[in-house]
Chain A
Amino acid sequence: MLTPFEYVKARTLDEAVMLLSGDDRVKVMAGGTDLIVRIKDRLLEPKRVVDIKGIDGISGITAREDGVYIGAATTMNEIVRNKVIIEKFRVLGEGAHALGSYQIRNRATIGGNVCNASPLADTAPALLVYEAVMIAYGPEGFREIPATEFFVGPGKTVLKSNEILYQIKLPYYQGKAGGSYIKFARTKAVDLAIVGVAALVFDNDDVRIALGAVAPTPIRARKAEQFLRGKKFDQTIREAARIAREECSPIDDIRASKEYRLDLVETLTYRAVKQALANL
């Protein structure tokens, strides 16, 4: 049962910002797969819900000169199927595919997934390794935020209550890259990640690793990355995985213990880097 609220569909970014009016009890809705569930569970009782799906340019994937732009209201299934994503940004495609079920992926959007700011968001590790840029819009106009600075804590981003996420830019990278996202959950589908690991390796020996569900926000495992730079051999990958384990701070919850998550970080970091190398 839904507690009644005012539903407004914004047609422009300015209209959306005006409707948000900086009030915490106004919520942005794209796919609604998180929001509506929370309203039903009465974790949220918004007085107004602003639907942003109708805003021009907020849905769809566009390749430009400096990168690929993904509208915040682009659905997971659009991302999974997109050719450029498949060819250039496969880690994001894998993350999007790991989320929910097919039906959920028809509705759920990338903007919703990241603005929800769950530490286990399946698309977040990919955005971190691709060093995506989050393009937000507010009363002062557009603002660009590096993905690595976007998440603040569980459920919290740097967005102000009168800002909305408009697009996510994935900058092109130099040379060749191989990537992988490994999600570990209880069931093989329709589950939340106990641990998620994204790895991206470049033919110039750069390495990027991001971890989900093991800290208050999705994080980059920078020490492990640094350790691996220039020496991606089996033994060093194992050592890097051990370093990654030390970089996170998971909690015990109903899905897994802290100890088990740490073990998984090590195992999955190793596997993700190996897989990324295989995909190079």
Chain B
Amino acid sequence: MIKKESYIGKSVKRKDGPEKVTGSAKYVGDLKFGSMLYAKILRSKYAHAKIIRIDTSKAEKLPGVKAVVTGKDFPQRMGLYLLDRTPYAVDKVRYYGEPVAGVAAVSEEIAQKAIELIEVEYEELPAVLDPREGMKEGAPLIHPDLKNYEHVPAIYPKPDTNISNHFKIRKGNVEEGFAKSDYIFEGEYYVPQIQHTPIETHTAIVMCDSTGKFTIWSSNQSPNAVRKILSHSLKIPMTKIRVLGPYCGGGFGAKAGVNIEAPLIPLALKLRNKPIKYVTTREEEFRDTFVRQGMYAKIKTGVTKEGRIVAQELEMVWDAGAYNEYGVNITRAAGYSSAGVYDIPYMKTDSYCVYTNKPNGGPLRGFGMSEMHWAIEQHMDMIAHKLGMDPIEFRLKNIQRDGSTNATGQVLKDVGIEKCILRAKELIGWEEIKGEPKPELSSGKVRAKGLACMIKAPAMPNNAASSAIVKFNDDGTVALLITAQEIGQGAFTALAQICAEELGVPEDWIKVSQPDTDYTAYEWQTVASRITYSAGNAVIRAARDAKRQLLEMGAKHFGVPLEELDVYDGYVYVVADPARKIAVKDIALGLTLPDGSGWGGPVIGKGVFIPEGVVSFDKETGQSPKGVSHWTYGVQAVDIEVDVDTGKIDVKKVVAVYDIGKVINPDLAKAQTEGGIIQGLSTALFEEMKFDEKGKLLNPSFVDYKIATAAELPEMIIDFIETPLEDGPYGARGFGEHVMVPTAPAIANALYNALGIRINTLPLTAEKVRKAIKEKYGI
């Protein structure tokens, strides 16, 4: 018998590592073509205004300018879930920064000069900057034509309002639940709009050739979605659009769906055979790409004297910005996840996606979950303290377990949250906390611990599909053709490990392709922490298909039944007699029989995956026996020190424990978690987009939009629980986004445990904390 070594659970080195550290990796910004043109975009200086007149004549006359376009040149609306967005504003602008006109010129400098020569006359309209005002009757309508917009069936826009989606949960009669409760606790929480801040700003090159075929090189998470959306709006077949994805310098959701590609399309239509490049400036990146939606939450919770949650009523009002083509699904995801990790018999949730005259809300790492858990997880701690219970004890009484139902009425199984909580409790060294803290203020520093849980499912259409092609080369090495994107999360490495494991060839024989929609296998999008899970399953099936073909040739070669053969380390061998073996390279392109004739052919395996049995939520109740592919649970516990006199929070230690089903690559899983913790910490303490009363973003740069630096890094202790997922590859669950979700509420809970102050609005700036200390203690 051959002792096989598994690639699963092994810290294989990153496939993209050497290219990236040596500078060999190519990003879209690195690409240059002959006769390339450069685009610049003129952007609105009003949050909401009618466009009375645009005069582009001076710009058009500037030497070096090749094309000028405005909204009239391409008025088709596009979008992923709700088609509400045009590449350039048509008739009116809906946020400060919206594209109004575009220029392509022989240099960036000339394009910029041309932009400044365009005259636009506006008539200012009243702006909606607060979604709570925007959802009221009589508020200025941002999209008066909303009722005519195309959308997917799973979202519910309200005609003649600013509500682009209203997702409802009605689980039992919540009033009945409150009647059965001994205590009712209410709370309000808020998160501002924030930015993804990828290192590489959005960059694209678009070319339309003489036959009308588009080629798009883009720093993007969703090549297939880009192709689909553009094909629909251009009304051309998908064979006429090719999307390539070189390396992507960070996405975090900002590069999902169509982004900066869209404004280049009308320019490309006017200029055949000219690649047009657009590199988003950092200022534009902050304001004019997707941002994380703001959200106002109101929670009312009914509990018994014994500390059992009976009922929860939750209203979430999302500050979704000017275009909600993607944001509508964030609202939906938060809605169906609104039980958090808890087993709550009676629930009522209303999640409203509301148009505002602000930057476009879109997906940001774990979308909906960070925002919602900021509210729920603080609220749970608050209730525990009010009941005089330890926050962990209270949670253990109420968490979901096998057999519990969630918000959508789904009966859960393989629930690992209890194990996560207990492990985190142990790793942080939790000591019982009951009632209001009595801090010793005289030393100037107060230290305390806090904890928060989280849950998340991939937020995607029920039928979001993955596929993979495994193609052998002459020498036995393998091309794995997929359209998943490597956005830093390690997808290429994990998928290569899976492929090697299944094929029985060394991992370094696997070359993972970069997306090219003309040739690589379909992938819905690289979002939702779904690649290892969904594409991973497709790769397993493709590899097994290819392996079966190798075995068939082996069976023919050795004259033994296929079942008696296996593949390992690049050889097909007879299991009972491993000395009888043939190198994969000798059969990769077909078998040569003893008489010299050929048999079979080049080995190509294919695999596809769609999560099965995902059933749509009921429109009125949000109920579904299985509304999502799977859930992943996690916990973070933090240890913080607060400087009483300045209000500054120093996060000393973060413990993260996630039940990810199966750890495919321990080093990468750990690194992904560290990154999530840092991003979570950054949003907890620093990040906020600030606007003036006219809707202009005040901090579109790293000078005044701060993100955590290396100096802020806490000690991080990371551990994983492995409760296998029935249809996960080797049991693996998605978790790439989940790792930033509970950091902020855990810090907020620790702040309460330190000083008895609760700050309901993100971020927890030193100034806010100091103010709260002053108010509470008068010092």
> Which A residues fall within an 8 A CB radius of B?
1, 4, 184, 186-192, 254-257, 260, 263-264, 267-268
Contacts and interface: CB of A to CB of B under 8 A. Distances in A.
Contact of A187 (B108, B708, B770): B708
B438 to A, nearest CB: 23
Interface stretch (B543-551, B709-717, B718-726): B709-717
22 contacts: A1-B109, A1-B112, A4-B109, A186-B706, A186-B766, A187-B686, A187-B706, A187-B708, A187-B711, A187-B712, A188-B712, A189-B709, A189-B710, A189-B711, A192-B703, A254-B698, A257-B767, A260-B767, A263-B645, A263-B770, A263-B774, A268-B646
Contacts of B690: 254
Nearest to A268: B646
Contact of A190 (B709, B771, B774): B709
B704 interface: yes
Contact of A256 (B698, B702, B767): B767
B699 interface: yes
Contacts of B398: none
A187 to B, nearest CB: 5
Interface size, B (range): 20 to 34
Nearest to A261: B767
Given A1-B108, A257-B767, A187 B709 contact: yes
B443 to A, nearest CB: 13
B621 interface: no
Contacts of B473: none
Contacts of A256: 767
Interface of B: 108-109, 112, 645-646, 648, 686, 690, 698-699, 702-704, 706-712, 765-767, 770-771, 774
A267 B771 CA distance: 14
Chain A facing B: main interface SS:
loop
Nearest to B713: A188
A188 B766 CA distance: 12
Given A1-B109, A254-B704, A188 B767 contact: no
Contacts of A190: 702, 709
A192 B705 CA distance: 11
B686 A188 contact: no
Contacts of A257: 767
Nearest to A260: B767
B712 A267 contact: no
Contacts of B707: 187
A267 B765 contact: no
Contacts of B698: 254
Contacts of B686: 186-187
A4 B108 CA distance: 12
Given A1-B109, A257-B767, A263-B770, A188 B703 contact: no
A42 to B, nearest CB: 10
B245 to A, nearest CB: 26
Given A260-B767, A260-B770, A191 B706 contact: yes
Nearest to B704: A254
A191 to B, nearest CB: 6
Contacts of A263: 645, 770, 774
Given A187-B708, A260-B770, A268-B646, 9 more contacts: A184-B646, A186-B766, A187-B712, A254-B690, A256-B767, A257-B767, A260-B767, A263-B645, A264-B646
Given A186-B686, A187-B686, A260-B770, A267 B645 contact: yes
B281 to A, nearest CB: 8
Nearest to B766: A186
A2 to B, nearest CB: 9
A263 B645 CA distance: 8
A187 B711 CA distance: 8
Given A184-B646, A267-B646, A255 B708 contact: no
A189 B708 CA distance: 9
Contacts of A267: 645-646
A190 B703 CA distance: 9
Contacts of B645: 263, 267
A41 to B, nearest CB: 8
Contacts of B711: 187-189
A255 B704 contact: yes
Contacts of B765: 186
Contacts of A4: 109
Contacts of A189: 709-711
A167 to B, nearest CB: 30
A255 B354 CA distance: 29
Nearest to A264: B646
The 5 A-B residue pairs with the shortest CB-CB distance in the complex, in nearest-first order? A188-B711, A267-B645, A189-B711, A260-B767, A186-B706
Nearest to A195: B646
B683 to A, nearest CB: 13
B646 to A, nearest CB: 6
A256 B767 CA distance: 7
Nearest to A40: B281
Contacts of B702: 190
A260 B773 CA distance: 12
Nearest to A270: B645
Contacts of B709: 187-190
A130 B770 CA distance: 32
Contacts of B766: 186
Nearest to A101: B709
A267 B645 CA distance: 7
Contacts of B108: 1
